Amino acid sequence: MQATDITGTYTYRSFLDRPEPVDDFNNLRFAQLELRLTATAAGQVSGLLVFPASAGEEPLTMEMVGQADGTPLTITLTGKGVPGTPIEDFHYEYDGVVLRHWPTGVGQRMTLAGTVLRAEDHGSGANLAKAGQTASFLAVKRDT
């Protein structure tokens, strides 16, 4: 697999790493967003992590930069909120791998899986999100 193979749009989901069983899967939800990536043959990766927005509103985004290389293909990304937006103080680090493709698999999609770290505090007061929070993520590649 080449680094350029990860270029595309993904449905990104991250989950809190809670070891106990939960009755409601939403109790594991950390985020559900759209991830857009472009990778060069040299493994440089750039893109956007796009937050949901109401119709007619411009979505908030985090700029993603990083590297993809190795066998299996691994990916490291840094995501930062766009300056001048309500999420400009967001800073997250991502470390993942392209999951194995099963030759006999049915309906399998390219999937990135890994961990995400909130690298810096963001927000304030009651809305303060402290640095150090981690979660697991899956990003499933879309057709378009």
For β-strands 74-81 and 91-98, DSSP reports them as antiparallel
Phi first, then psi, for residue 91 (nearest 5°) are: -150, 115
Phi first, then psi, for residue 27 (nearest 5°) are: -70, -10
SS3 call for 13: strand
Supply 79's token pair.
Answer: 């995501």
What are the pLDDT tens digits along the chain (144 aa)? 899 999 999 999 999 999 999 999 999 999 999 999 999 999 999 999 999 999 999 999 999 999 999 999 999 999 999 999 999 999 999 999 999 999 999 999 999 999 999 999 998 888 889 999 999 999 999 997
Question: What confidence score (pLDDT) does residue 124 get?
Answer: 81
The kind and range of the H/E element at 140 are strand 134-141
SS3 call for 139: strand
pTM of the predicted model as reported, rounded to 2 decimal places? 0.93
Are the C-beta atoms of 101 and 119 separated by less than 8 Å? no
Question: What confidence score (pLDDT) does residue 125 get?
Answer: 84
> How far apart are alpha carbons 101 and 141 in whole angstroms?
13
Please, which contacts does 73-76 make with residues 24 or more away whose CB atoms are closer than 8 Å? 73/1, 73/3, 73/5, 73/6, 73/97, 73/98, 74/98, 75/6, 75/45, 75/112, 75/114
Question: What confidence score (pLDDT) does residue 28 get?
Answer: 94
What's the distance, CA 46 to chain centroid? 12
The single-letter code of the amino acid at 106 is: V
